[in-house]
Structure 1
């Protein structure tokens, strides 16, 4: 009888010992399978959420880590130069980029869209967003959808023409369409000490409408939405901000801002508008870089940070996950530790159990060797026995361990252990040029799902079978040291 048939007979003949080994591997396999299931699921959540957030980055002052220095520096903080913005844009990680000048225009005759005048203070006006990228980055990134007209030409950008894009709701509110000449009545107001608003002047800015867009990433939420009142209010604010945005060439925005400032100085040179600020004729831009893939964010940050002036940092759209995805990271870390501990425990326990069984089978193994059987065959018999028993145990624990991982992870997500992380920041709001994005812990929790996947199955079987084979080293060394003469005497 060859050693393979002997292995099969040994497994079925010695049912008690086979069941003991099966039970040990099954229990430890469940722990490993559950931990790997949790770890794979948390990694999948991170990948999917970051993919949804996209690979966008901007350069901005790092207020969070340099509060005191920023306060001391005040208006003396060095502004980003166009040459630096363009140099960063040449990075191999960048797909395309834009840099935006921006300002605010308060109007009366030109009506903005307001969802709740009391909720947002009744302020009417428009956010003027400049562009140096003729195709308009927000259109390319599907943050807005062009429903009528066209985007800028390079000539519009270079010459700073008074042409712009408005939202369909603003067009409807004011009875405007593509080709119309829109007059933006920009108001200069000052607030007295008693809080009253006083209009000082009006500047009429003619803008030819070349395109009409609709937002695609934000919408006005129904008040009956199940989300919290605060979240609904934030969503409405983001919606209003996007809807009341007018896209213009950068030079046009800068010219409008310059004319407004000059008029304000003429009419009210002592206005609070100039308090705490020095005359500044420089240009200020917010750069936006679209990376080729969200996976390039860390490499882009590492490459770009040394180029930036003091107090500046790189901020990416995926930072939102880093801010509020702490529970997933914590759970992934815990599951990683459990996998390591379970693998070490499995190695020790299986090695000792099999070694004890080998000692009981010492005479059996001695007979095989004394009859001239090769040690490699005897060792192969033991390995096959272990693989048969462990294979069945691992396949069964693959299924039960997945359910175990699901129950444990749900318990952890609902426990105080992870909720402490969530309480630090329940929601991340983005108004930094990376898009008006609202990401909540609920969004991340809803994206979490423990399920069977090819990656999970392959990873578990590789870890499980690898652990069993490593655990066989000690018993095999015992077989090598066996002396059949001494056993048979």
Structure 2
């Protein structure tokens, strides 16, 4: 009889064992399919989170490390400012992953031509007119040196807008400035007007031309609690780095406080970090490349935990399921020892007997796969919802505990992180990639489960098989 027909008859004749094997293979397939579906969903959610946060990396001084070192040495107060020499980062700008670069600098200035906006908090002390250490000038304005205003996060997310004129870009004329519309109104200024600024560090002066008026939603929320008037968003100006350096530094050379790199693809962030550290001579014990990782981890923390758990499930189920299936087939082979021995004695090839066992198991596995495919979407989504809800709850409890003790990074940093929502929903999809992964794992499990037990029996000759009593 053809070994294919024997396989079919064997499946029908052994209904009980066929059903048990079908259930085992269905459970294995469902868990493995759910595991892969969850991992793929977590990967997609992570990519979406990166896109939402933006594919930007900021080069700046590692403030946290500075504070830790000062505390360890017993020092107190604010760490010394460390400027970035633009010549040290020129090579980073040339990397393939970089789409655009924004060099950022900051300084303060006064003016004899215009007066700053004074809020209630400023008038209550510490701001304009407040006491300053001897030899230091009370600033009126904050000057933000930029390469291109349109690359600022506040500009791209709509917090900062241009209401008249144009934004400061690389095409702007020399000695151009963008000021707040409220400051312009208070001083009867408009686009095209000029005024003089004096640096508080060098006391050099420069006459700048207004090319745009801005409006910031931070003005209404921040002005009430900032004691220093020059920090009020309405008293902040945007000016080109070259112009800023020409009158605010002794040598007139550009040194910036941070550099923001916009990348072509969010997935290239880690690659960019490694390449940037390799090509730049900067002291990486002092500086760091921040890709907004704290915010990213807050968003994707729960889903990464779920993905990690699902990966462990895939490994565990594959190994445990394979062992259980191998044991079941071993018992089945031993029960069919007489059948195998007679067939071998009649001249049947060992390869065909092995093929019969494989066909029987793969046929049952195919039915199990169809059941898994039919119920996979519902099963994987149910598992995802349960696991994600548990991780979100645990993450919320952990944050509450940290907040109760002040939390890491200070109050301001914690407030920023608190405003970033966690990903609390994740949708699984059963695509062809996931199905192929399940088929590959399932086929390997079935093949090894059949091969190992049957080899132990079929390596013997027919007489040994028939005379063996165990």
Instruction: Report TM bin, short chain.
Output: 0.7 to 0.9
> Which residue number in structure 1 is paired with residue 456 of structure 2?
478
Conserved? CA contact 2:102–2:147, under 8 Å? yes
Match of 1:299 among 246, 264, 271: 271
Q: How many residues align?
A: 428
Counterparts of 1:303-452 in structure 2, within 5 Å, are: 303-305=275-277, 307-309=281-283, 310-322=285-297, 325-397=300-372, 398-399=376-377, 401-416=379-394, 419-420=397-398, 424=402, 443-446=421-424, 448-452=426-430
**Distance apart, 1:182 and its partner CA:** 6.2
Conserved? CA contact 2:333–2:453, under 8 Å? yes
Counterparts of 1:12-31 in structure 2, within 5 Å, are: 12-31=12-31
In structure 2, distance between residues paired with 1:11 and 1:121: 89
Indicate how the Cα distance of structure 1 residues 52 and 400 shifts in structure 2: closer, same or farther if over 3 A, else same. closer
- Establish whether residue 42 from structure 1 lines up as the match of residue 29 from structure 2: no
**Distance apart, 1:454 and its partner CA:** 4.1
Specify the SS of the correspondent of 2:84.
coil
Indicate how the Cα distance of structure 1 residues 488 and 461 shifts in structure 2: closer, same or farther if over 3 A, else same. closer
**Distance apart, 1:19 and its partner CA:** 0.4
Counterparts of 1:25-424 in structure 2, within 5 Å, are: 25-70=25-70, 79-103=83-107, 109=115, 127-133=142-148, 136-138=150-152, 142-143=156-157, 149-152=165-168, 156=172, 160-161=174-175, 163-166=176-179, 179-181=191-193, 207-211=208-212, 246-254=237-245, 257=248, 283-305=255-277, 307-309=281-283, 310-322=285-297, 325-397=300-372, 398-399=376-377, 401-416=379-394, 419-420=397-398, 424=402
Q: What are structure 1's unaligned runs of at least 5 residues?
A: 189-201, 224-232, 235-239, 260-279
Specify the SS of the correspondent of 1:96.
strand
Q: What is the TM-score normalised by the length of structure 1?
A: 0.70
Conserved? CA contact 1:413–1:419, under 8 Å? no
**Distance apart, 1:473 and its partner CA:** 2.2
Specify the SS of the correspondent of 2:178.
strand
Conserved? CA contact 1:327–1:421, under 8 Å? no
Q: What are structure 2's unaligned runs of at least 5 residues?
A: 129-139, 226-230
Alpha-carbon RMSD across the aligned residues, in angstroms, is 4.7
What is the CA deviation profile of residues 19-50 of structure 1, one whole-angstrom value per residue up to 9, with x for unaligned ones?
01111222333333333333333222222211
Q: What is the TM-score normalised by the length of structure 2?
A: 0.72
What is the CA deviation profile of residues 177-224 of structure 1, one whole-angstrom value per residue up to 9, with x for unaligned ones?
6x3426589999xxxxxxxxxxxxx99986533245677xx8899x9x
In structure 1, distance between residues paired with 2:454 and 2:92: 59
> Which residue number in structure 2 is paired with residue 198 of structure 1?
none
Specify the SS of the correspondent of 1:378.
helix
In structure 2, distance between residues paired with 1:427 and 1:455: 41
